[in-house]
């Protein structure tokens, strides 16, 4: 049985006081629940103060990015070790906003995946097609390319510390979520491809989150699909109430 995993991607939102308050509300609302995994991913400047709020709770901490070097003259960048140092367990990599707004390539994302895994972080690797790609029937081809290149050189063992997030670009922040059937189809495809690459056991154990306009009212129908193992939540993770309602939808 794969344990459902709900992660909140706060993107470039909140401020110091708001991040602490939101984290505290999530901790309080989630309580000692252990049937699912839950994580929040605040902006870099608030990681450390959110880590303090999360201490002793079941809520885990993630970052939204890293730079794939141990240290060095990389002005403005953050290393895997720094994330671990401030209490992160997870890191989101390959988010479509970084692919499309900041020009990140599969090769660069693959370097980040290796850097994160070898430092001991857990990776949430995002993949997903644009609307034009879906309409041109390219969804599987795009997912296959992002998956194959993103995971290049990653062993089946290392996959136990990696979660995939299927995030159709046309559904992110648009209020237009994939239907449960579209999500299931893409997730089943991704799992099959991981199976081809790394064997049936790794594929069976792999968590695949869905992301893209997940809200309390659509969470249950998406999260009860057989290959949907959780959610990467953007907008709705900025209110503790809606984030917790999404998490409760899988209990």
115 lies in the binding site for ligand PGA (CB under 6 A): no
Catalytic position from the list 90, 95, 114, 122: 95
Residues 167-196 close enough to bind ligand PGA by CB under 6 A: 167, 172-173
211 lies in the binding site for ligand PGA (CB under 6 A): yes
Residue 91 backbone zone (phi > 0: left; psi -120 to 50: alpha; other: beta): beta
Q: Which of 4, 5, 6, 9 binds ligand PGA (CB under 6 A)?
A: 9
Question: Given CA atoms 62, 5, 231, 16 in this order, what sign does their dihedral have?
Answer: negative
233 lies in the binding site for ligand PGA (CB under 6 A): yes
Comparing CB distances to ligand PGA, the nearer of 26 and 172 is 172
Cα–Cα distance, 33 to 36 (Å, whole number): 7
Q: Which of 154, 214, 219, 240 binds ligand PGA (CB under 6 A)?
A: 214
139-168: buried (b, 16+ CB within 10 Å) or exposed (e) per residue? bbebbbebbeebbeebeeebbeebbbbbbb
91 lies in the binding site for ligand PGA (CB under 6 A): no
Least Å from the CB of residue 92 to ligand PGA: 8
Q: Which of 26, 232, 249, 250 binds ligand PGA (CB under 6 A)?
A: 232
User: How many CB atoms neighbour CB 24 within 10 A?
Assistant: 16
Comparing CB distances to ligand PGA, the nearer of 96 and 184 is 96
Burial class (CB in 10 A: 0-12, 13-18, 19+), 220: middle
Q: Which residues bind ligand PGA (CB under 6 A)?
A: 9, 167, 172-173, 211-214, 232-236
* Active-site residue list: 95, 167
């Amino acid at each position: 049985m794969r344990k459902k995993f709900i992660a909140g991607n706060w993107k470039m939102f909140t401020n110091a006081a708001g991040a602490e308050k939101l984290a505290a509300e999530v901790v309080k609302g989630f309580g000692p629940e252990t049937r699912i995994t839950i994580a929040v991913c605040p902006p870099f400047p608030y990681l450390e103060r959110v880590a303090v709020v999360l201490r002793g709770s079941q809520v885990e901490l993630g970052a939204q990015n890293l730079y794939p070097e141990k240290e060095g003259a990389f002005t403005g960048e953050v290393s895997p070790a720094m994330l671990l140092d401030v209490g992160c367990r997870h890191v989101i990599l390959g988010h479509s906003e970084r692919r499309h707004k900041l020009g990140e390539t599969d090769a660069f994302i693959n370097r980040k995946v290796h850097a994160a895994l070898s430092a001991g972080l857990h990776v949430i690797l995002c993949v997903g097609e644009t609307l034009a790609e879906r309409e041109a029937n390219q969804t599987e081809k795009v997912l296959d390319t992002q998956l194959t290149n993103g995971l290049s050189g990653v062993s089946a063992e290392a996959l136990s510390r990696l979660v995939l997030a299927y995030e159709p670009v046309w559904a992110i922040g648009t209020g237009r979520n994939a239907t449960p059937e579209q999500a299931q189809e893409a997730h089943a495809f991704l799992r099959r491809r991981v199976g081809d690459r790394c064997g049936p056991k790794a594929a069976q154990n792999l968590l695949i989150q869905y992301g893209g306009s997940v809200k309390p009212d659509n969470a249950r129908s998406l999260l009860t699909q057989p290959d949907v193992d959780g959610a990467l939540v953007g907008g709705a993770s900025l209110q503790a109430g809606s984030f917790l309602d999404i998490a409760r939808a899988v209990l």
